[in-house]
Structure 1
Amino acid sequence: MSHAGEHFAPGTYKFTVKSTEEAVTIIRDRLGPTARVISVRAVESTGLKRLFGSPRLEVVAQVDAVEAANASGDAAGSFDAVSAELATPDNGSETAPEVAPRSRLTPFSSSLGLTGLLRRSGITETALNRIQAGRNWNELNTLPLHRALAETSRLLRSQVEARTARPPLARAAFLGAAGVGRTTALCKWLSQEVFRRARIGHVVTVEFDRPNPLGPLPVFSEALGVPLAHFPCETQAAVPGGFVYLDLPALSVRRPADNAPIAAFLDREQIRERVLVLNAAYDRASLRDAYAAGCDLGATHLVFTHLDEVPQWGKLWDYLFDESIEPLFLATGPSLTGDCEEDVPGAIVRRTLPDDDTSA
C-alpha cells in the first residue's frame, strides 16, 4: 500500500473504471484510507463500442483531511464499505484489474464551488437561477461540497414533485415532430399499461392530408392483444376504465399553420390528454421550438426519447419546472417493451447529481 505522503490531496475526485475491483484498488492505493464514495453510476459506451464493450463505472470519491492516526484506524472498515457500495455484475472478472494511472484520476475541483460543479453537470442557467433564488442557497454553500450536491439534488426533485398529480392517462393523443420516436413511445407506454398495470383498451391511428407511417404499431398491438383501429372510428373507451390512445401525424415545428388540422381534430373529439414526445438528443434550440409547438397544441404530458444518446441530462430540468405539463416517462433505449423510466425527476437526478449522501 502507498505511503500517506503519496496519496492525493483532500478534495473530490471522479474516475472511470472497468470493474468494482479496479475502483477499490484505486481508492485504497491512490486516494488513501480517508477516501469515501459519494456516487457511483454505470456509463455505457457509445457507437460500435457499445455493441462489444461492457459498461464502465463512473465513481466520485471524497478525500477528507483528517489525522493519520484516525485514518489508519478506520481504513479496514472504510474499504469494506467501498466494496459494498460498488457492488455490480462486473465483479465476476477473472483477470486482475489494471491499476489506473494517476492521469485517470480527475479532480472534481472544489475550487469551482457549488455553482461551477452544477454548471459542469449540464444544468442550464435557468435551472441554476431557480436554485440560487431559493432561500437556502447561502446555507447550501456552507456545507461540504458532497453534502451540498446531495441537498441540491433533493431540492430539485422536491420542486418537480410538488406539482399537483394528474389522474392516470385514459384517453390521450401522442404528438410529436417527425423522427422523435412518437410511435415507439406509444408502444412503450402500451407495454407498461398491459404488462405492468393489466389495463385493456384500444389504439386509434389518424391521418389527415399527410400520411402517418405506423411503423411497428400494427404488429406490436396484435402481439399485445390491443385492438388497432383507423379513424374514423370510436374514440371513446370500449370498456369501463379502459384506455384509448391515438397516434397522430407528425406536427410541424417550422410552420404552425400546418398543425391546424391536428388542433381541430383534438378539439372536435374532445381529447383533453395530449402527450408531447420530444427527442432529447436534439440541441437546445430545436428542443425549445418543438416544445413550443406542442404547447400551442395544448400538451398536458411530456415524454423524452433517445436518452441513450444523451451524455448529459441536465438540460431536461428546464422542462420539468413547467407545472402545466406533467413528465410522463423517459425512453432510455430502443426496446418496445422496456427502456421506460417513469420516475422522471429521480432518473435525471441520478444522471446529474448524487441523490443520497452516500459519504455519510
Structure 2
Amino acid sequence: MNDPASGPCYKFTVRSAAEAATLIRERLGEHARVLSVRTVPASGFRRLWAAPQLEIIARPDRPAPVPALPAPVAAPGAEAGSAAPAASLRPALPAPDLPTLLRRAGFSETLLDRLAQSPDWPALAAEPLHRGLVGTGRHLRELARAGRPAPALRRAAFLGLPGSGRTSVLCQWLALEVFRRGRTGHVVTAEFDRPNSPGPLPVFCEALGVPLAHFPALTSPATPEGFVYCDLPGLSLRDPSANAAVVRFLEAEGITERVLVLNAAYDPAVLRAAHGLGCGLGATHVAFTHLDELDRWGRLWDYVLDGPLQPLLLTTGPSLTGDCEEDVADALARRTLPAAADSAPPDLQAAA
C-alpha cells in the first residue's frame, strides 16, 4: 500500500463515516487525503445481523516542496566545491569617510575646504574615524582660540533682532559675572523710539543685587573693577534706518564693546543677514541662543572660526542661571564631534 513517490498509505476499517473522519484526523492530521472508500460486508453468519463496515485508505498530505535556492555563481578563480558566504551576495556598503561625517554634522563646504587645506588634514583623513574625529576636534579648538583673548567685558551693549534672546543672554551673563567671578556693577535699559520689554531682567537683577536703571542714566562703571551692561531695543533687519537711534546711543556714550545675540535656530539666510547687520553696527562679540532647538550645530563653526566677532557664550536651555557654555569652541566640538570630547583639555573634562 505504500508508494515511495507519494508517501505511506494507511487503511482504516470503521463503522461509519463520522468515525472515519475522527480517526483519520487524529492519526494523520487535519489535511490527510482519502484515497479510496469501499464497503466491507460482515463474513459468515454475522452478515445476517451485523451492518457492513467501511474500509478507507488515506495518507497524510505532504507539504509543498520548498524550491531549492540557485547555487551562487562562483567567482572567477574560486575553487570548485567551495561555498561562497551569504554576505557576498549583497553589495557591501562603503564605510563613511571623515568628510562625509562632518557634512552630516552640519559642516559647510567652506569649512571643509579650509580643513582640507590644513597641513594636518591628510594625516587626519587617513586615521581611523574615531581618531580622525578626535584630531579634527583638537584642530578646530586650536583654530578658534588662536589670537582670541578670553572675553572680559566692562562696558557692553547687548544687541539683537526681536526674539533673538538678547535679554535672556544678558541675564545669563550677569549670573556668570556675579556668581562665578564675584563682580559687581549695574544695568541700564533704554527704549528710544520703540518699546523694549524688560522681560525677567528687573526681577533677576533684584535677585542678584544688581542695580537696574533706565536711560538716561550713568553708563560708566560705578567702581574701578565694576561693569555696566546696556539692554537695548531689538534691531530691524528690513529697515536699517530704524536702527539709527541705537547707533546714536552707542556713539554718544562711547560704548565700544557690543555683543551681538544670534538665534542659532534662524534660517541660514536670516542668520547670515543678522550677523552681517551686527558687524555693520560694530559688534565685537557674539552669543548664540536657542541651541536646544537646533539639531545640527556644525554650521556655527563658520561664525566662530572665520567671523570677526569674539564668541562670548551659547545657551542650551531656558534657565537664567545655567544652560549656557562659555567655551563656545569646546561646546561645538563636543556636540558636532562626539569622539572629540576625549581630546578636551583636562580642566574642561573635569568641568563637564
- Length-normalised TM-score, structure 2: 0.69
Report the alpha carbon displacement of residue 283 of structure 1 after superposing the two structures with TM. 1.4
Indicate the SS of the match to 1:330. strand
Report the alpha carbon displacement of residue 145 of structure 1 after superposing the two structures with TM. 1.6
Number of residues of Structure 1 aligned to a counterpart in Structure 2: 251
CA contact (8 A) 1:276 1:300 kept: yes
Runs of 4+ in 1 over 2 A off after TM superposition: 109-112, 354-359
Task: Tell me what 2:146 maps to.
Answer: 162
Report the alpha carbon displacement of residue 114 of structure 1 after superposing the two structures with TM. 1.2
CA contact (8 A) 1:303 1:330 kept: yes
Task: Tell me what 1:315 maps to.
Answer: 299
Question: In structure 2, do the counterparts of structure 1 residues 298 and 357 end up closer, same or farther at CA, with 3 Å as the change threshold?
Answer: closer
Indicate the SS of the match to 2:338. coil
Report the alpha carbon displacement of residue 318 of structure 1 after superposing the two structures with TM. 0.6
CA contact (8 A) 1:174 1:276 kept: yes
Distance 2:315 2:125 in 1: 34
The gaps in structure 2 that reach 5 residues or longer are: 1-92, 344-352
Task: Tell me what 1:305 maps to.
Answer: 289
Report the alpha carbon displacement of residue 340 of structure 1 after superposing the two structures with TM. 1.4
For residue 218 of structure 2, what is the amino acid of its counterpart?
E
Task: Tell me what 2:185 maps to.
Answer: 201
Indicate the SS of the match to 1:175. strand
Task: Tell me what 2:213 maps to.
Answer: 229
Distance 2:190 2:205 in 1: 15
Q: Deviations over 1:315-344 (max 9, x none)?
A: 100100135310000111001111111011
Q: Is 1:290 the equivalent of 2:252?
A: no
Q: Is 1:350 the equivalent of 2:343?
A: no
Task: Tell me what 2:17 maps to.
Answer: none
Match of 1:113 among 97, 108, 124: 97
Q: Deviations over 1:1-50 (max 9, x none)?
A: xxxxxxxxxxxxxxxxxxxxxxxxxxxxxxxxxxxxxxxxxxxxxxxxxx
Report the alpha carbon displacement of residue 245 of structure 1 after superposing the two structures with TM. 0.2
Task: Tell me what 1:182 maps to.
Answer: 166
RMSD (Å) for aligned C-alpha atoms: 1.6
Q: Is 1:337 the equivalent of 2:321?
A: yes
Match of 1:259 among 240, 243, 246: 243
Task: Tell me what 2:110 maps to.
Answer: 126
Distance 1:358 1:206 in 2: 45
Task: Tell me what 2:89 maps to.
Answer: none
Task: Tell me what 2:196 maps to.
Answer: 212
For residue 226 of structure 2, what is the amino acid of its counterpart?
G
Match of 2:223 among 239, 250, 258: 239
For residue 324 of structure 1, what is the amino acid of its counterpart?
P
Q: Is 1:270 the equivalent of 2:254?
A: yes
CA contact (8 A) 2:133 2:340 kept: no
Question: In structure 2, do the counterparts of structure 1 residues 283 and 199 end up closer, same or farther at CA, with 3 Å as the change threshold?
Answer: same
Distance 1:200 1:124 in 2: 41
Distance 1:159 1:145 in 2: 21
Question: In structure 2, do the counterparts of structure 1 residues 307 and 358 end up closer, same or farther at CA, with 3 Å as the change threshold?
Answer: closer
For residue 198 of structure 1, what is the amino acid of its counterpart?
G
Question: In structure 2, do the counterparts of structure 1 residues 163 and 186 end up closer, same or farther at CA, with 3 Å as the change threshold?
Answer: same
Question: In structure 2, do the counterparts of structure 1 residues 146 and 282 end up closer, same or farther at CA, with 3 Å as the change threshold?
Answer: same
Q: Which has the larger radius of gyration?
A: 2
The share of aligned pairs that are identical, in percent, is 60
- Length-normalised TM-score, structure 1: 0.67
Question: In structure 2, do the counterparts of structure 1 residues 110 and 329 end up closer, same or farther at CA, with 3 Å as the change threshold?
Answer: farther
The gaps in structure 1 that reach 5 residues or longer are: 1-108
CA contact (8 A) 1:206 1:249 kept: yes
Report the alpha carbon displacement of residue 112 of structure 1 after superposing the two structures with TM. 2.6
Indicate the SS of the match to 1:141. helix
For residue 251 of structure 1, what is the amino acid of its counterpart?
L
Distance 1:110 1:295 in 2: 43
For residue 237 of structure 2, what is the amino acid of its counterpart?
V
Distance 1:322 1:299 in 2: 15
CA contact (8 A) 2:148 2:310 kept: no
Indicate the SS of the match to 1:130. helix
Question: In structure 2, do the counterparts of structure 1 residues 341 and 167 end up closer, same or farther at CA, with 3 Å as the change threshold?
Answer: closer
Report the alpha carbon displacement of residue 258 of structure 1 after superposing the two structures with TM. 1.3
Question: In structure 2, do the counterparts of structure 1 residues 167 and 123 end up closer, same or farther at CA, with 3 Å as the change threshold?
Answer: closer
CA contact (8 A) 2:333 2:340 kept: no
Q: Deviations over 1:174-204 (max 9, x none)?
A: 0000001110110011111111111100000
